[in-house]
Amino acid sequence: MNGSVNSKQGKDSDRAGSGSPTAYDGGDWAWEFLRRNADYIADWRSSVPQHLPCITLNDGTKLLRLRRRFPEAEKWGLYAFADPRLCAHKATAFWHSNALKRVVRLNARKPNEGEANVRRLADFNAERHALIGLDGVPLVVMKRNGVRVPLEIRGLSVLTAAFTPVYELHDLDDLTAQTELLRRLQRFTDADFRAVQKTPFAADERLQQALIALDESLKGKTYRQIAIAIFGEKKVAEEWHSHSQFLRDRTRRLVAKGAELMKGGYRDLLA
């Protein structure tokens, strides 16, 4: 069994592999590799239901409320299954808080009259996806321009309500990571959307190449054919038989990296 579900997924896979990755964050990359995993696809096919509908709140936040746990999805690092036929820009993959390396945690306090530090989710100029699990604690993922901030909010019973945020810090070792996430979160409040720019991610190009290598290898292509798909026919013709064998070795490494990410390494990409 290979990593494809049907022809539609193949088209989405091609777009993800060959399109610009500038709007991809770590969670998007993780999903692109996971959705090609044959075992994940098999688990998704046997899941009931295969699709859980989100509702859109009046402030534009998309909300998924879970009435039960999905242990088979949790083993993949997700709260619930997402459709592997859909690329990262079309699927809503809710990564489990236990799988995320960094999460902003805050308590939402009821504002006092005249208080200045009052927020609503709508104040954050970002695409917002919220999930409420059995514990009733909303996990809100904010995304824009390849920047992602997961936000766990306690005490907010109505997601569209105003609140005064009180941010949590578990220990001093958590300070650096939380400071960076809070900076990102603050940028989402800027009225100028251009202020929210993705931090240069040097691994993006290699991840894109590894994704192409994975797709081509799942189709049974040779290393040379895979190299042509990644680097172009001219470069391969010039360097494939060079004494250093650099291009051959690089192609092999990309294929191996793609397979590694698909089989579980995608978790390392989660913020």
Between residues 112 and 13, the one the model is more confident about? 112
Alpha-carbon span 251 to 235, nearest angstrom:
13
- Residue located via tokens 């939380």: 178
* Most confident by average pLDDT, 11-15, 109-113, 216-220: 216-220
pLDDT at 19: 42
pLDDT at 172: 75
pLDDT at 193: 55
Total-model pTM: 0.87
- Tell me how far CA of residue 143 lies from CA of 11, 21, 25, 197, 228, in angstroms: 24, 14, 8, 11, 34
Could you tell me the two tokens for 89? 């820009």
Alpha-carbon span 193 to 208, nearest angstrom:
26
Lowest-pLDDT choice from 25-39, 186-200, 253-267: 186-200
pLDDT at 203 over 80: no
pLDDT tens per residue, range 111-134: 998 888 899 999 999 999 999 999
pLDDT at 146: 86
- Residue located via tokens 């089989």: 263
Structural contact between residues 208 and 171, judged by C-beta atoms closer than 8 angstroms: no
Quote the mean pLDDT of the chain.
Answer: 88
pLDDT at 10: 46
pLDDT (average), residues 226-238: 97
Sheet containing 55-56: which strands, arranged edge to edge?
55-56, 62-65, 127-132, 138-144, 147-154, 104-109, 164-167
Dihedral of the alpha carbons of 116, 119, 125, 129, in degrees to the nearest 10:
170
Q: For residue 22, name the pLDDT band (cuts at 50, 70, 90).
A: low
- Residue located via tokens 């088209």: 11
Query: Quick one: which H or E segment has residue 165?
Result: strand 164-167
Handedness of CA 104, 106, 111, 112 (dihedral sign): negative
Long-range contacts of 220-227 (CB under 8 A, 24+ apart): 223/248, 223/251, 223/252, 223/255, 224/251, 226/251, 226/254, 226/255, 227/251
pLDDT tens per residue, range 24-58: 899 999 999 999 999 999 999 999 998 899 999 99
pLDDT (average), residues 64-89: 96
Of all residues in the chain, what percent carry a pLDDT higher than 70?
87
Query: Quick one: which H or E segment has residue 108?
Result: strand 104-109
pLDDT at 204 over 70: yes
Dihedral of the alpha carbons of 140, 142, 148, 153, in degrees to the nearest 10:
-30
